[in-house]
Amino acid sequence: MNADPNIDYIGKPVRRSEDFALVQGRARYSDDEAAANQACAYVLRSRHAHGHLRAIDASDARLMPGVLAIYTGDDLARYKPMRSPFPIVDADSNPMRGNGTQFFATTRVRYVGDPIALIVAETEMQARDAAEAIVLDIEELPAVTDARACDGPGVVAIYDDTPGNLSVEAHFGHTKEVEAAFARAAHVARLNIVNNRVVVSAMEPRAVLAQYDPASERFTLHMQTQGVYGMRNNLAAALGVKPEKVHVVTGSVGGSFGMKGVVFPEYIGIAHAARALGRPIKWTEARSDSFVSDHQGRDHDIDAELALSQDGEFLALRMKGYGNLGAYMSPFGVMIAALNIHRNAQSVYRTPLIEMTMRCMFTNTPPIGAYRGAGRPEGNYIMERMIDKAARDMKIDANELRRRNHIQPAQLPFRTGVGTEYDSGEYTALLDAALKAADWDGFDARKADSERRGRLRGRGVGQYLEITAPPMKELGALQFAENGDVVIVTGTLDFGQGHATTFGQVLADKLGVPFERIRLVQGDSDRVTVGGGTGGSKSLMASGAAIVEAGDKVIEKGKQAAAHFLETAVADIEFGRGRFRVAGTDRAIGIMELAQRLREAPRLPDDLPKTLDVSHVHDAAPSAYPNGCHVAEVEIDRDTGVVEVVRYVMANDFGVVVNPMIVEGQAHGGVVQGIGQALMERTYFDGAGQFLTGTYTDYAMPRADNAPFFEIHSRPTRATTNVLGAKGCGEAGCAGALPSVMNAVVDALAPFGVDHVNMPATPEVVWRIVRGQ
């Protein structure tokens, strides 16, 4: 059977093939895995934000029923914690401090949730009971949770060798040129912009089942990842073994948003216990623990300045601020603060000069890691808030100000002030399309209606452009199985993105194989021999390109095989719509039949392919630049301060869209996360560093009634940076939502003299503004 020759799969809203298992409960998550004779683990964590760990007395706990072992930081000290791979230095080329410090505490605890001991017992409850019996002698120290507050005399040092808690002061830009631009500016807009810390809150808590085979000296870990190849290599490095001694298996993953892509200390402790005890060890994190032990997101405090000419031309953007790293440096936290924010603040504008100075600080809080967008929403948010502020100051229409500074199609390819090169896009046309779809001109009537009902109404625009992560080398293996399936093996990993469907559409279009017979393998490091993982909105550019290029190799092999069976020369074979045909004749053979004949042929010439299977590695391609424009309208209840997003329109340029239904779903999710951060989500710590928002009773998450129905329009321009012409879409919703919603909130509150509100615009914050408090 071949694919329907009348169907082009790319561009069609094909129903997600992976959803059947998910909705029927047949998907297997990490906690679903179990092994014979497995033991269970629990992690004892610090209840103090900062203190000297004087002693750990586990003598009574070791004697409790079912307890098999208790491991502390001293027991695990031989392992290597994961380091940040980004070699960031300061202006004097001094390297960042504190890289590679996160593991089980030994002499000091640095945040509430810092792991201290790993308890292994026959059951989880026995491990939990034993944890309660461990006596900790901790001399409590003062704690600091705010990055800006770290920067000053008298603040306690979190690390003895890191004075002032400064890991690195990262700088980008040409200071003298920027100073000159500000000196000749007709106007300078200024804002303090806080990007509030948020809890990642993935649907599935972290979990791992670790086994060790002493005969082969090999670890097998069933666990969540964002790519098994990278996780295998990083685990092996931490454990001090060769990569082939680690086997990582990932099934279904209930969300990640960047957090599950790194090696956490618990994984190493669990692997150590499996080897030491000779038994499988299972650990599943409780939700209450995940609030303090998972990496958290955002948390930047930036003073921004935009210099403009008399006509509103952007001359320079200058940003100085603080990036909160948390108590330990995660692999990505410093990269977000020091590299990604300023690169994405360029957005769709010609701004010739951008300078950023970011002081990356350690605090007594959970480490900051990658969170949906990882610097891209932050950078776009800064630029869009500055545009609205400048427009109000200069009494210029904000959208007109955007148009005056847009990069125009005739200027592409465009080399930006941050060193990127945009290849495609129609930014003014996209803005105009979004405004038209949002009925911008009809706003006054809607505002008047809101006022009649005693409510405030505001509107906001959030135009954005993201720099996707550069795709790494990516595997594209295609296998024609005996049962008639066609198997794709690639190194990205699906945790909600719909890879099986999207990649299947790419392959069905390329080779004409039956879409319903395509299977996807991503979660087994023994089969994924190369892979960049999923992150940075690059999966389709990486795996998609690998699949297309692997398809070309299948066609070449197929032409040789078809020429043999059709008794003609290879040069006479044409391929299209899943069939190899002798040119100018009706003699042909379908690709699936050809694969079967190769499998079943008793004897084939030595120079003939024995199978259509191929394994191909796609080389890295440049980043792509998804962009768009979101328009939000909000209503505010004067009496309660509650902000409601009542209208939301977006127009996006994601390049070639393989599956518009999946793309819309990705946009929905990103926008809702943006609404959550803008209006309700924030972590709070008290003066002692205690985490006060550690449950869903205290930490507000967006729900269905916090989001309106979305109107989505696609206005694509084809990317030239990859073979599919795609630009990535997974994180763009956040980048458009933060500025559009917050610009709308500020617009609604403008009658009260407000020109800026920092996120989150909670009911209390808004209520106080309305009442002048």
Tokens standing for residue 369: 């890691």
Q: Residue 373: what pLDDT? A: 96
Q: Residue 648: what pLDDT? A: 98
Residue 1 binned pLDDT confidence (cut-offs 50, 70, 90) = very low
Looking at residues 698-705, what average pLDDT do you find? Answer: 95
Number of helices followed by number of strands (H, E) in the chain: 21, 30
Q: Residue 80: what pLDDT? A: 86
Q: Count the neighbouring beta carbons within 10 Å of the beta carbon of residue 125.
A: 12
Residue 136, pLDDT > 80, answer: yes
- Ramachandran angles phi, psi of 95, nearest 5°: -70, 160
* CA 524 – CA 325 distance, rounded (Å): 32
The DSSP element (H or E) to which 179 belongs, if any, is helix 175-183
Partnered with residue 580 across adjacent β-strands are 575, 589
Tokens standing for residue 285: 């994190």
Looking at residues 307-311, what average pLDDT do you find? Answer: 98
Q: CA angle, corner 448, sides to 445 and 454, nearest 5?
A: 150
Residue 2 binned pLDDT confidence (cut-offs 50, 70, 90) = very low
268-299 tens-digit pLDDT: 999 999 999 999 999 999 999 999 999 999 99
Amino acid identity for residue 221 in this structure = L
Looking at residues 693-710, what average pLDDT do you find? Answer: 95
Q: Tokens 């550069």 label which residue?
A: 470
DSSP labels for 85-140? ----B-TT-PBPSSTT--SS-SSEE-STT-EEEEEEESSHHHHHHHHHH-EEEEEE
Q: Residue 83: what pLDDT? A: 87
Largest interatomic CA distance in the chain: 88
Using CA atoms of 181, 184, 186, 192 in order, give the dihedral in degrees to the nearest 10. 40
Q: Residue 314: what pLDDT? A: 98
For the chain, percent of residues with pLDDT exceeding 70: 99
Calculate helix-pair angle for 732-749, 376-394, nearest 10 degrees. 30
Q: Residue 620: what pLDDT? A: 86
Residue 5 binned pLDDT confidence (cut-offs 50, 70, 90) = low
Looking at residues 629-641, what average pLDDT do you find? Answer: 98
Q: Tokens 């440096």 label which residue?
A: 329
Residue 748 binned pLDDT confidence (cut-offs 50, 70, 90) = very high
Under DSSP, is residue 751 helix (H, G, I), strand (E, B) or coil?
helix
- Spell out where 555-702 has E strands: 573-576, 579-582, 588-590, 614-618, 627-637, 643-653
13-61 tens-digit pLDDT: 999 999 999 999 999 999 999 999 999 999 999 999 999 999 999 999 9
207 alpha carbon, distance to own chain's centre: 19
Looking at residues 232-252, what average pLDDT do you find? Answer: 97
Residue 7 binned pLDDT confidence (cut-offs 50, 70, 90) = low
Q: Residue 696: what pLDDT? A: 95
* CA 360 – CA 340 distance, rounded (Å): 13
Q: Residue 4: what pLDDT? A: 53
Q: Residue 589: what pLDDT? A: 97
Residue 737, pLDDT > 60, answer: yes
341-392 tens-digit pLDDT: 999 999 999 999 999 999 999 999 999 999 999 999 999 999 999 999 999 9
* CA 229 – CA 211 distance, rounded (Å): 18
Residue 621, pLDDT > 90, answer: no
**Strands 135-140 and 51-57, how do they pair?**
antiparallel
**Strands 627-637 and 614-618, how do they pair?**
unpaired
